[in-house]
């Protein structure tokens, strides 16, 4: 089992920045990919960014490319999502997810990830 705990959410004005953290514990040795998803009210959960924990390869949703950066600190078992130039439409609950699959789809699929955090709210408003 892997436990994930997100932190770092909050309220910010358009154009601002936030950094989310996801601390993993438990049997993290088998984890291959960690990702960030988000879900706005009335919308489906969508993948935002993913990182291959054993190599560092990353992928992003088109809507956040150039603005968000996913990174990891394997020594701390922590994944980060640096968000810059935030827009109103970035407002959502952000979830950290992990999987032991050898491959994940692109765009990211909720069903590829078996471990989820409780979420952290990001609100962008003027």
Please report which residue ranges of the chain form alpha helices under DSSP H. Answer: none
Instruction: Round to whole Å and give the CA distance between 90 and 99.
Output: 24
Instruction: Round to whole Å and give the CA distance between 119 and 30.
Output: 22
* Portion of the chain with pLDDT greater than 70, in percent: 100
Instruction: Round to whole Å and give the CA distance between 10 and 91.
Output: 10
Instruction: Round to whole Å and give the CA distance between 2 and 40.
Output: 25
Q: So what's the pLDDT on residue 94?
A: 98
Q: So what's the pLDDT on residue 69?
A: 98
CB atoms within 10 A of CB 123: 15
Q: pLDDT digits over 16-30, tens only?
A: 999 999 999 988 888
């Amino acid at each position: 089992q892997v436990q994930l705990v997100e932190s770092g959410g909050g309220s910010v004005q358009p154009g601002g920045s936030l950094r989310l953290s996801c601390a993993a514990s438990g049997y993290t040795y088998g984890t291959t990919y960690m990702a960030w998803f988000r879900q706005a009210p009335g919308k489906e959960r969508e993948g935002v960014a993913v990182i291959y924990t054993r190599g560092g390869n990353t992928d992003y949703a088109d809507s956040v490319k150039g603005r968000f950066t996913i990174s990891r600190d394997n020594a701390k078992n922590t994944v980060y999502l640096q968000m810059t130039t935030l827009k109103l439409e970035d407002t959502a609950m952000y979830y950290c997810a992990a999987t032991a699959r050898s491959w994940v789809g692109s765009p990211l699929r909720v069903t590829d990830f078996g471990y989820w955090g409780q979420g952290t709210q990001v609100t962008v408003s003027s």
